[in-house]
Amino acid sequence: DSGVTQTPKHLITATGQRVTLRCSPRSGDLSVYWYQQSLDQGLQFLIQYYNGEERAKGNILERFSAQQFPDLHSELNLSSLELGDSALYFCASSGGGGGQETQYFGPGTRLLVL
Amino acid sequence: ELKVEQNPLFLSMQEGKNYTIYCNYSTTSDRLYWYRQDPGKSLESLFVLLSNGAVKQEGRLMASLDTKARLSTLHITAAVHDLSATYFCAVDMGHQFYFGTGTSLTVIP
């Protein structure tokens, strides 16, 4: 158990809908990262937050947005969903602001868009 | 955009044998990570390599980084079945992370 929690574990929805994925980092970790894993695109970094502020942005679509709240949990919002958004979404947390620390991954949310 | 290539993509090896997984990347970076993923599971961090010449070892796995060659290796010594998993390298470029395609390792008794 990494100490990172994600909800829900599974999500099935329809095209055009909007969903929210939630991540609670390990106690004391300030950084949260979001990743997408799919068969066709592999593992992709989406976005990083550090202590409530956006730190780095990767291949995150404009239809997707994220935020980190004062209690350090984070949410990833996916809107106008398309079939191709079906994937595993992981969040990870680490202790500091940079990328040099070990990242601890949550169990993931499996999203299926029908 | 930074490209990260891993090879081999698939590796089947006998228990007790040694092998190396290679991770090449296209742009200078001095931060590289190795992860393990078991089927249907999340990622587990194995190594964080932060400088040229960095070498880290944990059990039967040893990782190294050559930033000048833009190459990292993950060496497996005397493989055991429990090492069967997919291994990913990832390069940190300005806090953005670029992953390799993964190496699916199967250790055969």
A98: which DSSP letter? Answer: S
Q: How confident is the model at residue B52 (pLDDT cuts 50, 70, 90)?
A: confident
CB spacing of A106 vs B42 below 8 angstroms: yes
Return the residue matching tokens 């942005």.
Answer: A57
C-alpha–C-alpha distance, residues B20 and B7, integer Å: 9
Could you tell me which of B50, B47, B53 has the C-alpha nearest to residue B21?
Answer: B47
pLDDT at B43 over 60: yes
Averaged pLDDT score across all residues of chain A = 93
pLDDT at B59: 96
pLDDT at A100: 57
pLDDT, tens digit, 9 for 90 and up, residues A1-21: 889 999 999 999 999 999 999
| CB < 8 Å to A57, chain B | 96
pLDDT, tens digit, 9 for 90 and up, residues A67-102: 999 999 999 999 999 999 999 999 999 985 555 578
pLDDT at B1 over 60: yes
C-alpha–C-alpha distance, residues A79 and A62, integer Å: 9
CB spacing of A103 vs B45 below 8 angstroms: yes
How far lies B26's CA from each of A24, A64, B23, B29, B71, in Å? 34, 28, 10, 9, 9
pLDDT, tens digit, 9 for 90 and up, residues A31-69: 999 999 999 899 999 999 999 999 999 989 999 999 999
C-alpha–C-alpha distance, residues B40 and B21, integer Å: 22
CB spacing of A92 vs B43 below 8 angstroms: yes
